[in-house]
Amino acid sequence: MKHLKTVLFLLLMSVQLFGQKEDDIFSKIRRESVANSQVMKTLSYLSDVHGSRLMGTPNYYHAALWAAQQLKQWGIQKTSFQSFDKGHRGWEISHFQVEMIEPTYSPLNAYPLAYTASTAGAKVGEVVYIPSLDSIYAMEGQLKGKIVLLGAYYEPVSNVFQPFAQRLSPAVLDQAAQNPDPNDLIIGYHSRRSTPQVFSMQNLIRKRREQFFNFCKAQQVLALLEPSDYPYGILHADGNRAVPAYMRKTDITPIASFVIANEHFGRLLRLIKLGFNPKLKVNLEAKFYQEPKYNVNLIAEIEGSDPVLKNELVIIGAHLDSWHAGTGAVDNASGCATMMEAMRILKAIDAKPKRTIRLALWGGEEQIFAGSAAYVEQHVGDLNNATPQKEQAKISAYFNLDNGAGKIRGIYLMANPAVKPIFEKMLQPFAPDNILTLQNANQTDHELFDFQNIPAFQFIQDPLDYMSAIHHTNVDLYEYVPEKDQKSNAELVAYLAYQVAQAEELLPRKKFNSPVPSLQGNAHFQLKGFLNAAQVSLVSDFNNWNMFGTPLVKTKDGWECKLELPAGKYVYKYIVDGDWTADPATPTNQLVRDGKGHAGLTEIWVK
């Protein structure tokens, strides 16, 4: 009995000491953050000093150089630059103007669109309106010296009656936490498309628009004006609407193009309808850069202390590049400053993580993940054939910060329920900001890691005014980055990264999730036909309704895959080019529902 009491006492003491150790790390992180935070100073240098950081520009490169030097000053000596250059080019404005000179004078609120040509001095021209891009071809021979209003995406704005800035309510967060389907959009921003579709869709859009821009150039159009889709004069200046970003050296260069305030676009259109012929003066002086050295990711590390586990990685990341109309303070200097601050804190408190904690500041995220895609291809796995690289089996987790400047409220689990109990324990000190939702989040760098079945996560953040005013606009500025939120975010990231680095094992990966089809297993799935489809995948309860994680391979008759499933009953559908599709081999009266919002399912039993 005496021996048993001794054992129990020692066990109790070890648990208490472990708890004290974890509490001690949390307290150290909190104290260092409160006493010596550098996050807002870092933010100001990245956004105010270096300004907008379009990929391939001196601004971007110099910001990366400054960040590397700052990390070294904090004691993080292991930094490096890794090229992602694939013929990318930079573009920078030196001067521009857009003014109406008839029927009355009025300066117009406008901003040049990236990667478009200079005007070779100030030019004056009459305005013409086209309701769609294709309608321009009917005006052949009538466009010389004209300035074209692009009406394809025009919707007049009016008074906004809902708040611009919002925080997530407990009720909404609870709804997200209870959401059983990772594809249901309860909070955040994501779209239902696969990672390969991201690249193919953007390339297809640019290719389709080439004819339009070549026609404009041949017809000697002076300039193009695209309406902003934001109210109150806010300018949405990115390459995601009528004028794509042609960011490679081999791409075409569209004629001078501007985004114009929605209200000013509306005024010009109304003047035309009243019978006037507005004349504008436009001028754009822009420079292209062709320097491969500008296209780099910044990598920095706190090396692991365990002789074996130091070869494994916990990666935290954010994209350093931005669009050009604002200073990119919110999107995404705030994310970079937070991640840098997390590294600073860990170094300052002399944390000794078992695994290596790596910081990645990506370039070219706004240009279809150029930086992170190159990293994944070089170190994790090929995006086309999934050939694994050396870090594939060594990365425990990748954490990404790119949802604005709002406070972190939890984590998107990316349809990986196995990590939920782990994160619940790790994030307990941050309650109630420890919400976990199965929901997917995409449209930023972590999805490339997720595609390779690396546990990769985006943080849930308060939206504030990110989508209502800031995202890719001219008001993406320092003033809209709350200091208190950034400090809290840095503390959470530092603590979480440390905890994952200390864990006994790597974080669990998703089941039945692979970038390439499986052709071995006890369950055979065959979809007849659909030979014109570009991509088919399975979505089922066995893969937690991961729409694109379980692909099929094309055969002469259709599509198929084989999976090794545990014995039991399952339900499934197919995803054909992004569309949910019931198995046509299953009679309609035998299709079932799962009671969680999924219908048209085929039921199978695996023995």
> Which tens digits make up the pLDDT trace of 271-301?
999 999 999 999 999 999 999 999 999 999 9
**Is residue 513 domain-resident?**
no
pLDDT at 14: 44
Q: Indicate whether 187 pLDDT > 90.
A: yes
Which pLDDT band, with edges at 50, 70 and 90, does 352 fall under?
Answer: very high
Residues 6+ apart with CB under 8 A from 571: 540, 541, 592, 594, 598, 601, 602, 603, 604
Mean pLDDT of the 349-358 span: 98
Q: Indicate whether 54 pLDDT > 90.
A: yes
- State the average pLDDT for the chain: 94
Contact 429, 370 (CB under 8 A): no
Domain count along the chain: 3
CATH code, 584:
2.60.40.10
Residues 380, 326 within the same domain: yes
* Cα separation, 108 vs 27, whole angstroms: 53
Of the three residues 289, 316, 336, the one that is the final residue of a domain is 289
pLDDT at 7: 46
CA distances from 301 to 47, 228, 353, 476, 581 (A): 23, 41, 11, 29, 45
Task: Summarize pLDDT for 432-483 with one digit per residue, the tens.
Answer: 999 999 999 999 999 999 999 999 999 999 999 999 999 999 999 999 999 9
Residues 148, 195 within the same domain: yes
Of the three residues 289, 320, 336, the one that is the final residue of a domain is 289
Q: Indicate whether 9 pLDDT > 50.
A: no
Contact 136, 143 (CB under 8 A): yes
Residues 110, 252 within the same domain: yes
Q: Across-strand partners of 399? A: 316, 457
**Is residue 10 domain-resident?**
no
Return the minimum-mean-pLDDT range out of 109-118, 195-204, 420-429: 195-204
Q: What is the DSSP string of 256-284?
A: PEEEE-HHHHHHHHHHHHTT---EEEEEE
Residues 314, 444 within the same domain: yes
Contact 470, 480 (CB under 8 A): yes
pLDDT at 196: 80
Contact 507, 454 (CB under 8 A): no
pLDDT at 2: 47
* Cα separation, 101 vs 87, whole angstroms: 40
Of the three residues 289, 312, 329, the one that is the final residue of a domain is 289
Residues 139, 66 within the same domain: no
Helix (H, G, I), strand (E, B) or coil at 578: coil
Short-list 331, 327, 245, 320, CA closest to 288: 245
Task: Summarize pLDDT for 478-506 with one digit per residue, the tens.
Answer: 999 999 999 999 999 999 999 999 999 99
**Is residue 181 domain-resident?**
no
Residues 133, 197 within the same domain: yes
Q: Indicate whether 366 pLDDT > 90.
A: yes
**Is residue 6 domain-resident?**
no
Q: Helices then strands (H, E): number in the chain? A: 11, 24
Query: 448 or 387: whose pLDDT is higher?
Result: 448
**Is residue 511 domain-resident?**
no
Q: Could you count the other beta carbons within 10 Å of the beta carbon of residue 285?
A: 17
- Give Dmax over CA atoms of the chain in angstroms: 102
CATH code, 191:
3.50.30.30
**Is residue 374 domain-resident?**
yes
Task: Summarize pLDDT for 309-347 with one digit per residue, the tens.
Answer: 999 999 999 999 999 999 999 999 999 999 999 999 999
* Cα separation, 141 vs 221, whole angstroms: 10
Domain that holds residue 326: 38-88+292-502
**Is residue 516 domain-resident?**
no
**Is residue 66 domain-resident?**
yes
Query: 22 or 6: whose pLDDT is higher?
Result: 22
